[in-house]
Structure 1
């Protein structure tokens, strides 16, 4: 009986242990599968299967894990889409955009920011002050973080890495949460380059000043001589005639100035259109010089014409291109002293037509050369005003050449003369 009981206990123990280990194996296999599922979710991957069979509890866990994974994958996709959209927006913006933290470390910077500040390195992770050496920006950031309100300031940019200077409008916008309970630790900076706008404003002011000056001089002369005629009705015929001739001269000057101003306005607004036709340049330039023959004779000027043989026909608007040549030859004669000589060269260079008008005049100082095509610009004010003219001729000529798809440049050697060089395609592109 004792042995029977011992045997029964032994077999029951063996059965119990067998059942225990089988149960343990079951749980271990399920836990291992749960581990694989959670590992995949942690790695932002979708598990091959969520199925956990054998128990309602495992089925519930399986369903919850699948729901979590689906939600997470949706969030990942949405995050990637938002990142793509953000990058697309940032790349398309002309403004420089930078996102920084409390330590002024750059989190995000767009291409325009790198372009504006001439950066060849990735700004991300660097201190803003290392790349943008503007103390006013640092001060502005601190004030915006402190007040938690957007700030805007116009700054004159100093040279940064030797590549940039200009005018900027900087916006500093702290990024706050919806509840605004916690202070923002992230800030968006927007750099808008307004250098061109400022330059345009300055050019406009200077233009108004120059026009006012050009109008004031003849009007003052008118006023003075009209008062003379009123106060002295018994002036001699000779003196009266002299005054009328002076008034006529300044009337013509005013008329030329107004005409040039209207023409320049049309050219710059692109409201004036040209109608190019194919012409023989040799014949065209000979007719043009024939029209100027009285001027050459009056100024005792020798003209040498050098036109390349077999020059192909060029496409120009004869009327407007002739105006450009008139202006350049008139300048060449005006700023020369006897014996005056003007050389006109025309040749083909590749697919381009090149026309050079060379004088033996005073030449243009290097400091004035970059500005001679500006409206009303005069280097030697006293000498140039004595030459007459409106001060708009070269500016108008440059606009006419550009309408032909070409460029106009000046090459000058002080005391030896100046070369005006026009280059444009032989065949004009037609829209």
Structure 2
């Protein structure tokens, strides 16, 4: 009996030790679970613990914030019935994956307590006991609703951007195609132009020459590309080089405007021969900035030959006309001198004949001067002359008309004005044309002012009248050959439009300048600045 009792006591003691050990383990596990629970509650994600059937066993603070229910409200309820879960596939299929692989990840649609539907990124992890039997599933859900919205916006913007890029690409391809077509057209036009063309950049360096330009100048474009345009020799009619400041390209680049050559220039070929050209330069402008210029030049050899032949014909015809006209004028003046008794009608007819003959002689003289200028036979010969004397001789020739119109002539001649070395014919032509115009277009009782002075070595002439003036629209053409202002045609129908052209041509030939100021119905003032000269040679052909 005692032995049995001892055995029972030993067994009781063993059981007691086992219970104590189990109690310590349980306490440790409870402490660990408590720590895990606190850690779970610190998580921002919703963490739900459910059994295999889906009943909620755990619900952290993150789940309360995501879904709106407190833990005590959801324990014991079915997870997917509570959250109205929408699966990408069946619930059973997902559970099979978890049981087989121990985990699953994907996106689910859940409904919050307030009825708002949210998207969650869900991760399921299977929990097993010591024997390996499934006991629970931990679900970690993160609200990605805003992220999904943002991703959708980004995707939408991306699609829109891609569509715009595709559309813009199509437009650019179309533009590129059109640009290529235009470039091909422009190249064909550039290479087929019958005139020579030189293209320079804003620095005045040659960037392109068309085939016709190469042919005309006897050069290859490659030899001039990158060189300044001044490498192309350009001469005046007398063989002197054209100063850079007078070249059309220089003025186009500096003044930013189209410039047409006013004089005949000669391009010098590579073999030193030359030919006359008409030139026009046009700026290349982009958004208000000049990036270069185009200089087009045309060989006018044929035109010069025609002009020369015409001038020769005019010269010959004028010479032939001058003798009979002079004879006619002399006989008419003799008949009107009073030595012959004439009836009033005969006197009237002879007076008309005298006037017409005088006009014809004036025209012949003008034509002869023009032919000399254009043929290059016009020359200037310096001679010491009395300018005032020549001026008064011109006035004396027209005293009858001056007296008839009662014109007042005012002079301003310095008493100490010295004699000057000038071409007498040149000075006479200037005074004759300017003074006769002033007399012709000044009304009765008007005035004419003549000023002469010497400034350094230059003769300055000022011719002012109170006549009809020059209309503003006509002023730019006043020095053109055969041009007459509209109001002058009414006052003098018999004018020929050559006087000012001749005056300007010979003044500029003598390196002088002529210009005017005028206002219609108030009068006109002409100014001439004429340097003293040495004998000027005839220009070479």
- State TM-score, norm by structure 1: 0.46
| Larger strand fraction of residues | 2
Larger Rg: 2
